[in-house]
Amino acid sequence: MRLKKKRTDSIAELEAAVMPATEPTGWWSRVSSEKRGLVIHALKTTLAAAIAWFIPQMLGLHDGYWAVITVIIVLQSYVGSTVTASRDRAVGTLIGAAFGFAFSLYPVQPWNFLLALLASTLVCVFLGLKSSTRLAGVTVIIILAAQKSGPGLTFAVHRVIEVLLGIAVALAVSTLVFPDRARIRLREGLTEEFLQLGALFEAILKGYRGDADEELNDVRARADALRRANNQLMDAARNEPSGGRGVLEALGLLMQFARSLRDALAALELAVRNSHNDRFAQQLEPALGKLASDIHMGFHYVAERIHKWRFATPQSRLKLEEDIEDLENRMLEVRHTGANFSQEEILRVYAVQLHLKQLARLLRASRIETSKTLAEHGAE
């Protein structure tokens, strides 16, 4: 059983296959996308910090540097991540400021710090604000430590104003100045993930009736790294203020299919173990090889659909259901020859073809269901 389609390992190669090739027009185009992102983020952070420093001076706030610190903390690479960090810092600061002021009404003693810290932490925990817990505690300590005489109402109010000002500046800069949407990055990440799952499928099948692929562990590690990165992008995408509900649901659906495909690949990997001496699988050719080849093509096809964000048009050359039917018919034709092979070998072949059919149907469903989801929300 051989795969006929050459593997595509990156978005760049996929783009070269589906889009006209263009040469870089300047030195900036030749810089890697990761480095470009870091440079842009540094420039945005500097701009936001300058604005956050200037406005408090105009308003007469003496500790305007807290707005600058807030900008540096909450301004993230993606708009959605900035929204999440801003929310956590705003809530944590408000809770911490409230408890800091309340406990500053009493003489400054060590128990003040401890009780205020405990109270603010418990409130965050009971409200389900785990990410705000540390920020609330830091605010409490700062207000109580800065309190020298009398209640710290003024300091607490100024602290809240400066933090909220820093948050407002960070959100404005993140949204208006070269905004980087997590949803767009997630589409790229899912494109790459489906490509890597296709590479993992190829590596697993190289071990069927032969030696295990030496690159299998490396390919699996890359796929796992993409899965973790895409999970983080999904968390950020949920908090972005634009993009449409349909797009978000479609991205979530594709992530579910990616998980299901990964599980099916893990089952296939178990099924092909100790198969190097198997001969019964040869009876299933060419149907078995055709299905495997089209599944590999299917991973690339779905990746291409995600990259272009167009799911309504099926691939005319990709007939996975027909491949499954042909394989099932072939299984019936060769059933009578089973007596010539070991039971273990026959069971292994049945397991392999079962997992191949599952992979084929998941790939087909991933395009169809995503297209339906987008159509329901008028997003395609």
239 Cβ contact partners less than 8 Å away, ≥ 6 residues apart: 80, 81, 83, 84, 87
Pull the structure tokens for residue 234: 């999904």
pLDDT tens over the chain, length 380 residues = 555 444 444 545 554 554 444 444 555 555 556 677 788 888 999 999 999 988 888 887 766 788 898 899 899 888 888 888 888 889 998 998 888 888 887 776 777 788 888 989 899 888 888 888 888 888 888 888 766 554 567 777 878 888 899 999 999 998 888 888 888 889 999 999 999 999 999 999 887 766 666 788 899 999 999 999 999 889 888 887 766 778 889 999 999 999 999 999 999 988 888 777 777 778 888 888 899 999 999 999 999 999 999 988 777 778 888 989 998 898 888 888 777 778 888 888 888 889 999 999 999 999 999 999 988 877 66
Identify the sign of the CA torsion 17, 19, 21, 25.
negative
> Cα Rg for the chain, rounded, in angstroms?
28
Q: Which of 275, 299, 284 is nearest to 359 (CA)?
A: 299
The pLDDT score that the predictor gives to residue 66 is 83
Q: Could you give phi then psi for residue 3, rounded to 5 degrees?
A: -90, 135
Going along the chain from its start, the domains and CATH numbers come out as: 32-176 (no CATH), 181-376 (1.20.58)
- Chain-centroid distance of CA 347 in Å reads 37
The pLDDT score that the predictor gives to residue 20 is 43
The pLDDT score that the predictor gives to residue 358 is 94
